[in-house]
A and B are shown apart, each in its own frame.
Chain A
Amino acid sequence: MYGLVALGYHITWATSRTMNFSQGAAVMAGAVVAYAVFVALGWPLPVAIAVTLAALACFGALVERVAVRPFFLRASPAWLLATIAVGIIAENVAQLTFGKDARAFPSPLMQKPIMVGSAGFYAQELLVPAVGLVLMGLVQLFYHRTSYGKQLKAVAWNPEAAGLMGINIPRAVMASYALSALLAGVAGILLAPLLNVSPQMGTIIGLKAFAVAIIGGLTSAPGIIVAGLGYGLVESFTAGYISTRAREIVGFGLVILVLVARPWGLLGEKPSRRV
């Protein structure tokens, strides 16, 4: 599930060499909107999912417009801080409208656990990695097989040249942000039944997903999915054998180790420096 959110970092990074640090807020928004439409308004599930995804795509586009475009191509970390700012605002807005309390999200896949030996799990838990893998496959296909995907890659490599070739850069970047937020929204919907829905749920997921993106390599979608699964496993083992809190310590410790040993990630491309 981290892999899915982390894929969103990869998508915007691959297009614009910027990242949406409010990915966590997008996950939260996905869960909150889905809750509002599905549980509170009682709309049918497919409609609720469609509405949520549309809302998230708009959120992504908005983030790009407000927090990234003004600073794109300017060599400054301003976009980083600006997206954090948007995330903070989104969290607060959710808090004001949704309330601070966590709420349960019902799902047909959470009714009874499937038992394998003594360990039990819910079908929903299987759905998350499955959807993650499928979406990764789609993203890869999109980048390598479609001309629009190739355009996005061209923007990443050399925005100036891509612009001269007639690619609408602002639109390409905005599209990548919309797509990235959309993935976070999918993650939000999938996670809503597993965790409880609350305005604070996003921050830590966003951070962990970022950790996963860096471990796997920001430039590599397969690397990110592998790292996402690995990170999830390491977390559950630490939580199981040591303690729940230690889980975070071990997880983020891992990031620091990876960055020291292989700053470009496990499967990422080693950047060459241009002089």
Chain B
Amino acid sequence: MANLKIGDKAIPFDLPGVDGKDYSIADYAEKSAVVVIFSCNHCPYVRAWEDRMVQIQADYQGEAVQLVAINANDASKYPDDSFPKMKERAREKHFNFPYLHDESQDVARAYGAERTPEVFVFDKSGILCYHGVIDDNYDDPTAVKIRYLQEALDAVLTGKVPPVTETRPVGCTIKWR
């Protein structure tokens, strides 16, 4: 279960990205919303949703929303989740957000993340406003009925409480050491 409750402050992190730079949540202090998504390469749920992640970042770029994906999986057991493979995936899928490597798994543990993908949305004050899934249909983007993440962002950007603040994350378990 997530260690953060709705209303809690974001837990800081400082992690390397696939572009060779390090990223910290403090880098986004000026953003209206920050979306931290625990993700990875191999999980079919992530692979089903990742085009939508890219699209959401593109759609909200002008609104000062920043997505950040974090991979904490143990690459020794799941080699497709290694840092070199992360770089390949980011290139292949044209990730328009940082893709960070939580090799020690400390950040994932601190957040209490359990699944990939698992979404945490923070407002401009760094307060958790939404936690859970991206939308209600991992399998078919054309059959999505409730766009939980987008609805949360629309609310946060107008200073409102999201219509739904928590959903059960759906996806593969994070692969712990």
Q: Do A and B come from one complex?
A: no
A residues sitting closer than 8 Å to B (CB atoms) are: none
